[in-house]
Every structure is written in C-alpha cells, then in structure tokens.
Structure 1
Amino acid sequence: MDYITITGLKVFAHHGVLEEEKKNGQDFYLNAKLFVDCHKAGVSDELRDALNYAEVCQFMTDEFKSDSYDLIEKACEELCRKLLLRYEQLEKVELKLDKPHAPIGLPFENVSVTMERAWHRAYLSFGSNMGDKKAYIEKGIQEIKEHPLIRNVKVSQLLETKPYGYVDQDVFLNGCLFLETLLLPEELLAFLHEVEQHADRKRVIVWGPRTLDMDIVFYDREVYDSEDLIIPHVDMQNREFVLKPLAELCPNYRHPILGQTVKQLLDQVQSIPQE
C-alpha cells in the first residue's frame, strides 16, 4: 500500500503525569506514515486528488496541542483516531510519538510510543423472531450507523427463514451487513451486545427465540480466537440464512480458513437435500 511519511514534526504541548509537565509543557516530535492510495494523484498531478500533507501537519499540530493527557499512549491513540476520522481517504496510520525531554532523571536520548491504527472491514449477520421483528432490526442497524467509529454501512435484503437448531419457535427475519470500523474485534462485539440489550435481548435458550441477534461473520481477513469470540463465525458455512444475504454483499469473499468463496459455500449448502 502507498504511504506518505511525515518525520520530526515538532509540537510544543502539555502532556505528562507530573504537574510541572502540564504547567510548563515541552517539545514533542510526531512521525507519521499515512497509508493512502496515491495512484490517482500520481496520474493526474492535481492537488485535489492528493492528501494535502501541509494541511495534515497543521491538523496534527492543532489537535495534539488541544488537549492535555497524562500518558503519551493516550495522546498517540487520540491523534491516530482523529486523523482517520478527519481524512476519509486514509486507510491506516502508523504514528510514532517522541518525548525526548521526559523527566526521567537519567541520561537518555528519547522515549517514544508507536501505534498502528486502521479502518477494518467487517461483515455481520443479524436476525429476529420475536415481536416486531423488522422494527428491532431497523433500530439495531440505525444504532450501528450512528456509532462514531463506524462508517459505510451496507445492508442486504431481509429474508424470512425457518429456525435453526431449536425449531420450536417462530420464523426469523435474517440479513447481513457490511461496515468499516475503527473498533477492534472485542470492542465491536461489546458494542453489538449493547445493541442487542437495547432490543431487550434475553440469552435463555441456545439458538432459541430472540428479539435481536447480531454476530460477527468476518473481520478483515483475520482468524481470531478468544474466550468470547471466534472469527470467522464458527458455523456460518452451514447456515443458508447467513450465506444467502452475505452472498448479496460479497459473493467472492474467500473464507480465510476454508478457502472457498461465500458463493461457493452457499451453493454447497443449497445442494444438500432438504428434509
């Protein structure tokens, strides 16, 4: 991926744990890699097609000075987030923050923290089979669209499906959606649980009835496994009610473990004789 490098941008600011750091301030140095597609600007030679790095430097300076944080980790995190939210064409930021005048009391050259933050692409499945199903789904999707760290939400059509697993329950409305987010997998999961709770979701029966269910199916090309979350979704390849709306959004997306596209997985499921 293309990137623009900014090195040694000097900014006087008031970050630090000690009161004297907050009161007196000190010089910091910002070093950034801004990952952006430079092809269009490289062809046109027009500033309107480029990321204006002079403007970016001024933005970084103003934003870094606008607040006071105890930790350079916090200052770096906030600046990464602000850059990605301010400049839509930015895909990823690698930021190194130098604090050469840190009050350590020993001879040293520099103290720094380096972070890499990026927009991530995720696919979610959702469903409801209680109450006003469509209203629960629409409200949940609207909450997702309104999250400040989520953008470019695209939603499949809704389809009515028979229950899966525990079959003694009402039919479902199901669908999938695509989003870009700055949330990490566990953060996204926690947010989706909040959305479900706002729909009065109760986790009583596995695969049982629910007002709203939202699952992470894919997150970038990651294979992720924790106590609370597995990505790709562990059973998505067996669920037509996931694969069918997912194929509407990304038919050629390849499962990072199984190596097959969403359309191929859907074709396999649909080829199994129905009882």
Structure 2
Amino acid sequence: MGTIKLKNIRTYSYHGCLLEEGKIGSDYSVDLEVKTDLQQSSISDDLKDTVDYVLLNRIVVEEMAIRSHLLEHVVQRIITRSLKEIPSIWCIKTAVSKLNPPIDGDVEAVSIEMEQSRN
C-alpha cells in the first residue's frame, strides 16, 4: 500500500451561505490524500499502474468551480467523484479551507476535512 498526497491546491471559488460570497468569491486551499496500491507502479514505472495525480487535481479544480453553500458539500463531491473515476483508490481524505473567511474575528482559515473508504 501507499499514499499519494496533493497539498495546497489553490483555487478562487464562490462557496458560502452569504450572497456576497457567491458574487465576490474567496481564496481556497485543498489538500487531498489517497491510499492505493503502489507496488506495481514502483516496479513498472508506468503511469497506468498508479493513480494519476493530474486527474486528481482536475477533479478538485472542477468540483471547486461548482458553487455550494457548505464546504462539506464540496468535500463530499470531491470524494465521491474521485472514488467513482479511480477504482484503485481504497481510501481518500480531503480537506477544503476557506482562507480569510468573512467571520467576525481574525481567522486565517476555516477547514472541513472528511475521509471515506471504499465499501
């Protein structure tokens, strides 16, 4: 087994419950971690034997472009799509952080992290 991590995927997206968040948007950071079997790819040196992190990045960017009120909803979409499109993933953990959220206080980020294993 092994782990593939994509750290700090940056997007400008339009998530949030406030009307203004849907209009002006905000900066986001996404971390993604997948568990998969890396044994074959470590021997073959062939992309077809591993999880393509370019595809993982594309899934994140495309799902972040779809507006949601809650970060939980975005995270679940990323997880569901990744498991559907990449059968070799057996566990995925995803965190989405809204940077400088519009809340009363000096808060660097708010984050939602979820993990799911394949049934």
TM range (shorter): over 0.9
AA at the equivalent of 1:55: L
Secondary structure of 2:99 counterpart: coil
In structure 2, list runs of 5 or more residues that go unmatched: none
Higher-strand-fraction structure: 2
What is the match of residue 52 of structure 2?
A: 52
Asked if 1:106 is matched to 2:102, the reply is no
- What TM-score results when the alignment is normalised by the length of structure 1? 0.42
Secondary structure of 1:40 counterpart: helix
**Residues of 1 paired with 2:63 and 2:98: CA distance?**
17
Asked if 1:2 is matched to 2:2, the reply is yes
AA at the equivalent of 1:24: I
**Residues of 2 paired with 1:76 and 1:19: CA distance?**
21
What is the match of residue 25 of structure 2?
A: 25
> What is the RMSD of the two structures over their aligned residues, measured on CA atoms?
1.1
- Shift in Å at residue 34 of structure 1? 0.9
Alignment of 1:217-236 (within 5 A): none
Secondary structure of 1:55 counterpart: helix
In structure 1, list runs of 5 or more residues that go unmatched: 121-275
Identify the structure with bigger relative contact order (alpha carbons < 8 Å, sequence gap 6+).
Answer: 2
Alignment of 1:99-248 (within 5 A): 99-120=98-119
**Residues of 1 paired with 2:19 and 2:90: CA distance?**
36
Secondary structure of 1:3 counterpart: strand
AA at the equivalent of 1:70: H
- Shift in Å at residue 63 of structure 1? 2.1
Percent of matched pairs sharing the same residue: 24
Q: State whether residues 59 and 81 of structure 2, in contact with CA within 8 Å, keep that contact through their aligned partners in structure 1.
A: no
AA at the equivalent of 1:117: Q
What is the match of residue 82 of structure 1?
A: 81
How many residues align? The count is: 119
Q: State whether residues 59 and 78 of structure 2, in contact with CA within 8 Å, keep that contact through their aligned partners in structure 1.
A: no
- Shift in Å at residue 50 of structure 1? 1.5
**Residues of 2 paired with 1:106 and 1:72: CA distance?**
19
**Residues of 1 paired with 2:68 and 2:42: CA distance?**
38
What is the match of residue 198 of structure 1?
A: none
- What TM-score results when the alignment is normalised by the length of structure 2? 0.94
**Residues of 2 paired with 1:81 and 1:58: CA distance?**
14
**Residues of 2 paired with 1:87 and 1:28: CA distance?**
24
AA at the equivalent of 2:90: E
